[in-house]
């Protein structure tokens, strides 16, 4: 039902992450952990893992994330059954300038998120109409879910993105040529990083 994929650089983080997945995921799933000792770029790692995935729903998630919503995977699979949806996330923006580096671009009223910032312990939630799904133009790469046929059409661009940055923005923009991308209101995760550029 769901293939959960991560790129690991920290045995400590990935062990905590694996226990959390076991405690919170309720559907039949597989976990694909790529031990990135060879320091491949994230696009290459995600493409390798997605090609191996046996399920038609994919979840690309960072290892420094913990899920707080029991059965979060069921929510993902339910939403991805809508063929108009391209990519789901929990942090995204409804505006993207040509100059901003992050999904956090423009006014904060453009943001849509449901996340605990693990470093500061703040719960950030903003869905002004209390909508279950909010359409966005960009998403944070800490948590990206899509159907396998979407990934097959718009694979992560490992030719142009060799490292660990901007892969998410590029992927989301390309998927948006055919599909709509959304943040989800009722899936809460905790992310232990602010990200770096």
| 19-50 per-position pLDDT tens digit | 999 999 999 999 999 999 889 999 999 999 99
Q: Specify the pTM.
A: 0.93
Strands (E) in 90-169, as ranges, are 91-93, 111-117, 122-126, 133-136, 138-139, 143-147
Read off the pLDDT of residues 86-111 as tens digits, 9 standing for 90 and up. Answer: 999 999 999 878 877 677 777 888 89
CB atoms within 10 A of CB 150: 21
Provide the H-helix boundaries in 63-112. 72-80
Torsions phi, psi for 60 (to 5 deg): -95, 115
Choose between 160 and 61: higher pLDDT.
61
* Cα–Cα distance, 166 to 100 (Å, whole number): 11
Q: Are 13 and 64 in contact (CB under 8 A)?
A: yes
Give the 3-state secondary structure of residue 92: strand
Cα–Cα distance, 5 to 60 (Å, whole number): 5
Predicted local confidence at residue 195, as pLDDT: 52
195-to-22, 150, 187 alpha-carbon distances in Å: 26, 26, 20
- The answer on pLDDT for 119 being more than 80 is no
* φ, ψ for residue 185, nearest 5 deg: -75, -40
CA angle 9, 13, 19 (to 5 degrees): 130
């Amino acid at each position: 039902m769901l293939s959960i994929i991560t790129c690991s650089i920290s045995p400590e983080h990935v062990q905590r992450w694996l226990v959390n997945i076991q405690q919170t995921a309720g559907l039949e799933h597989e976990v694909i952990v790529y031990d990135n000792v060879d320091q491949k770029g994230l696009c290459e790692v995600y493409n390798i893992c997605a090609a191996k995935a046996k399920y038609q729903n994919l979840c690309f998630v960072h290892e420094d994330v913990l899920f707080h919503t029991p059965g979060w995977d069921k929510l993902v699979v339910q939403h991805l059954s809508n063929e108009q949806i391209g990519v789901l996330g929990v942090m995204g923006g409804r505006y993207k300038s040509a100059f901003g580096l992050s999904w956090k671009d423009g006014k904060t009223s453009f943001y849509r998120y449901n996340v605990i910032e693990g470093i500061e312990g703040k719960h950030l939630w903003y869905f002004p109409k209390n909508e279950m799904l909010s359409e966005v133009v960009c998403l944070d790469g800490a948590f990206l879910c899509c159907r396998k046929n979407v990934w097959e059409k718009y694979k992560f661009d490992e030719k142009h993105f060799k490292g660990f940055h901007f892969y998410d923005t590029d992927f989301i923009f390309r998927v948006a040529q055919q599909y709509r991308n959304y943040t989800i209101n009722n899936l809460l995760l905790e992310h232990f990083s602010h990200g770096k550029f």
